[in-house]
Amino acid sequence: MASKDGKRFHARDSRAVLREVFNQRDSNLEFLSLAELDIVDARSTNFCHKREETLAFNLAGPATVRVEGQAFELEHYDILYISRGAEFVVEAGTEPAHLYLYRALADKVHPVQHMKWKEGREDPARLRLLTRKKVYKMFDVGEKADRFMAGYTFYDDHSRAWPPHNHTDQEECYSFIEGSGAMQVYEDDEKLTFVKDVQVGSHVSIPLLNYHPVFSHEEPLCFIWCIAGERYWVGDKDKSFMDGTSKKVTT
């Protein structure tokens, strides 16, 4: 048997880098965690989350995600649902890929589901129009999952969330992927706090019972909203959220 040459490697030269952004230990959330994966011209390690389901968002160049050997080609803004206990690996070519990997504690096993942005943005059933805002429910109640719901919200410039809302049974993360702005996260008016700057790469955890309005300034912005908990969208459950007739909404 012919021998092969050894090779030298250094971590600084890695072409697949996984960063844990937050998990239950440090986010004040019960179910939700988040990691970022940067990968170019490489294949990641094998992932398998025994107790967590995964939502993978692709935010840059094309990536291939192989789940139990089945290949899914993710384009820009595509989403892939991966059940708890399923093994998966991520591959990318010479164009860099950048993925957000949200995880939520789960009890049941569900099929892999590929939500394509090119199709979802053209589907009127997934779109909700608010004043100077568009909400796309990309992973909705019609998709099978234990706790996940997720989508994209696009703000025009000089816009704000109205009315403020909070949840008794959904925790959430807002991940900002276009533009910049600001945000509030607060239990009540007396304890109001202000996130003075949110920009591309900012992630804000939203525990139960916290209001969480977003503000855009001189430019439009877009963020991912990822929910872990009961599966509904606030505007479908409480119609006053859509028409702005209420000062505050609690679901």
Beta-sheet pairing, 165-166 with 133-139: unpaired
Lowest mean pLDDT among 85-89, 178-182, 222-226, 237-241: 237-241
Average pLDDT, the chain: 94
pLDDT at 19 over 90: yes
Token pair 């999952």 in the structure block, residue: 145
* pTM of this prediction exceeds 0.85: yes
- The whole-number pLDDT of residue 250 equals 86
Contact 220, 166 (CB under 8 A): no
CB 45 within 8 A of CB 16: yes
Residue-level pLDDT at 115: 98
One fold for 14-115 and 120-243: yes
- Average pLDDT, integer, range 184-213: 89
What integer pLDDT is reported at residue 235 of this predicted model?
A: 86
For residue 12, pLDDT beyond 80:
yes
Q: What average pLDDT does the segment 63-85 reach? A: 98
Selected from 2.60.120.10, 3.40.390.30, 3.30.70.3270, 2.70.50.60, the CATH number assigned to the domain covering 120-243 reads 2.60.120.10
Spell out the long-range contacts of 13-21 with Cβ–Cβ below 8 A and sequence spacing 24 or more.
15/39, 15/40, 15/41, 15/42, 16/40, 16/42, 16/43, 16/44, 16/45, 16/90, 18/44, 18/45, 21/203
| Residue 117 contacts residue 76 (beta carbons within 8 Å) | yes
What residues form DSSP beta bridges with 207? none
A 10 A CB-CB count for 115 gives: 23
What's the mean pLDDT in 9-20? Answer: 91
Task: Give residue for tokens 């998966």.
Answer: 88
Q: What is the pLDDT of residue 244?
A: 66
Domain-wise residue ranges, the chain: 14-115, 120-243
pLDDT tens-place string over residues 106-144: 999 999 999 999 999 999 999 999 999 999 999 999 999
Instruction: Please state which architecture CATH assigns to domain 14-115.
Output: Sandwich (2.60)
CB 203 within 8 A of CB 34: yes
Tokens of 223: 């963020």
